């Protein structure tokens, strides 16, 4: 392939000026230039095509350039791209709030729109603090979470990420210090571990007087380590929150919209949180949008409290383009028969990743819904892994000791098999 002079210049600029996530500038492994994407495929500047095993960080559930999603954006553009949400309102925002509250567990009736997942977590934390204060419990200002979690990169969210994986040591003295319980024991189907339950219960009781809320990712811990735990752990947290007057915040940013086989992962546990965050797949990966849902009790208590309401208001709150494409994405999800689709992907992942189990250097293979994970005994060499996956015509982005996929729901069996073959090959080379 001839090097393209335009792209050579662009990549030189990228190296010189552009930050990429979680890394040095320039990035030690140069990023691959993408010129377009369609269905489940990314097209690179040199003409190669890669099947996207990552769904653009788990968002692009319907794939790229979906005609219905393209149309939703184009149609919304005919009326307005954006308008402020302070003092003004619009149909896409109202309709999306209605839709989300219909989809969500029953008591979640109120919606605050945010412009990213991390901000929706900040809003959730703020809701809990303002709620306790408005309820006259001013000493309840800390949060409890479990180790191994990930809730975003802004400071409030970072403070409840895993203290080691979330690199709290870089920000000692800056982050608020919350209460960390042990990570829930591994295994979606594992019975509730009595020892863990007893230690968690004791920790909550010990700190209840100073706690506003518990915040966790239900059932699947995503970027903190791609681990699955029993829905019974989530149910126990709900019971402990009720017992001690704490709010339960569930971060469904990664797990929401069918990814784990239920519309929201908390449905595995039959649990309704007081506050719930959604984001990522909300717009089908088209645009950044997130939302924090809460119960009427939380909203009413905050609204009666000092300050006269929830003290947050992002500039691009409820952006109409994003709300319109989110509505179209939720329509598609209905039409897709997502339950069956996710179950088919789950079966394909189980079959396709099974050969990795026998490989040297593989410590675990786990699948839940449309999430497939191979965990290695050592850290993955990212550059080597990327090269192997690209040779398979597949885009993967392993991290730490994890090679995984969260593919678009529209991926067909043949493409899914190529993704799992690439993962198994990366695991083989890394062993």
- Residues near ligand PLP (CB under 6 A): 116-118, 121, 150-152, 217, 222-223, 251, 253-254, 279-280
337 token code pair = 């028969």
The smaller minimum CB distance to ligand PLP, of residues 356 and 403, is found at 403
The smaller minimum CB distance to ligand PLP, of residues 288 and 430, is found at 288
Among the listed residues 251, 401, 415, 425, the single catalytic one is: 251
Shortest distance (Å) from residue 175 CB to ligand PLP: 16
> Closest residue (Cβ) to ligand PLP?
117
Shortest distance (Å) from residue 281 CB to ligand PLP: 10
Among the listed residues 52, 110, 150, 401, the single catalytic one is: 150
Burial per residue of 5-39, b for 16 or more beta-carbon CB atoms within 10 angstroms, e otherwise: eeeeeebeebeeeeeeeeeeebeeeeeeeeeebeb
Which of 44, 66, 100 has its CA nearest to residue 318?
100
The smaller minimum CB distance to ligand PLP, of residues 60 and 254, is found at 254
The smaller minimum CB distance to ligand PLP, of residues 151 and 238, is found at 151
The smaller minimum CB distance to ligand PLP, of residues 119 and 211, is found at 119
Q: Contact at 8 Å (CB) between 356 and 424?
A: yes
Q: Is 251 a catalytic residue?
A: yes
8 token code pair = 């050579």
Shortest distance (Å) from residue 326 CB to ligand PLP: 14
Distance CA 67, CA 53 (A): 21
Shortest distance (Å) from residue 75 CB to ligand PLP: 25
Q: Is 4 a catalytic residue?
A: no
Classify the phi-psi angles of 96: left when phi > 0, otherwise alpha if psi is within -120 to 50, otherwise beta.
Answer: alpha
Among the listed residues 110, 162, 274, 280, the single catalytic one is: 280
- The number of beta carbons lying within 10 Å of the beta carbon of residue 295 is 21
Distance CA 5, CA 328 (A): 39
Q: Is 381 a catalytic residue?
A: no
Shortest distance (Å) from residue 165 CB to ligand PLP: 13
Q: Is 22 a catalytic residue?
A: yes
SS (H, E, C) 209-234: HHEEEEEECCCEECCCCCEEECHHHH
171 token code pair = 């920000």
**Catalytic positions:** 22, 150, 251, 280
């Amino acid at each position: 392939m001839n090097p393209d002079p335009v792209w050579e210049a662009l990549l030189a600029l990228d190296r010189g000026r552009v930050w990429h996530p979680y890394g040095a500038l320039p990035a030690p492994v140069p990023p691959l230039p993408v010129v377009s994407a369609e269905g489940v495929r990314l097209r690179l500047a040199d003409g190669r095509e890669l099947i996207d095993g990552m769904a653009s960080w788990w968002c692009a559930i319907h794939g790229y350039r979906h005609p219905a999603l393209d149309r939703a954006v184009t149609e919304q553009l005919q009326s307005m791209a954006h308008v402020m949400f302070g003092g003004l309102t619009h149909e896409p925002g109202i309709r999306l709030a209605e839709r989300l509250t219909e989809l969500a567990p029953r008591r979640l009736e109120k919606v605050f729109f945010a412009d990213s997942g991390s901000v929706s977590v900040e809003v959730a934390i703020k809701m809990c603090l303002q709620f306790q204060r408005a309820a006259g419990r001013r000493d309840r200002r800390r949060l409890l979470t479990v180790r191994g979690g990930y809730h975003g990169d802004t400071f409030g969210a970072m403070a409840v990420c895993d203290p080691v994986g979330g690199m709290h040591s870089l920000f000692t003295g800056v982050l608020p210090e919350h209460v960390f319980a042990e990570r829930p024991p591994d295994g979606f189907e594992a019975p509730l571990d009595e020892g863990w339950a007893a230690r968690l219960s004791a920790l909550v009781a010990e700190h209840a007087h100073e706690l506003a809320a518990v915040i966790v990712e239900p059932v699947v811990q995503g970027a903190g380590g791609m681990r699955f735990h029993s829905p019974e752990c989530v149910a126990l947290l709900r019971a402990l929150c009720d017992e001690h007057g704490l709010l339960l915040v569930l971060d469904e940013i990664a797990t929401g919209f069918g990814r784990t086989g239920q519309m929201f992962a908390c449905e595995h546990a039959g649990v309704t949180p007081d506050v719930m965050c959604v984001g990522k797949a909300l717009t089908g990966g088209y645009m950044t949008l997130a939302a924090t849902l809460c119960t009427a009790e939380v909203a009413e208590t905050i609204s009666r409290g000092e300050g006269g309401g929830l003290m947050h208001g992002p500039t691009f709150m409820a952006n109409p383009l994003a709300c319109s494409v989110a509505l179209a994405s939720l329509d598609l999800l209905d039409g897709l028969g997502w339950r069956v689709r996710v179950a088919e992907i789950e079966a394909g992942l189980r079959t396709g990743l099974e050969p990795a189990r026998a490989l040297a250097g593989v410590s675990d293979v786990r699948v839940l819904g449309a999430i497939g994970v191979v965990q290695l005994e050592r850290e993955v060499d990212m550059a080597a892994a990327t090269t192997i996956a690209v040779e398979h015509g597949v885009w993967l982005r392993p991290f730490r000791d994890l090679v995984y996929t969260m593919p678009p729901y529209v991926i067909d069996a043949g493409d899914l098999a190529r993704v799992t073959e690439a993962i198994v090959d990366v695991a083989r080379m890394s062993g």
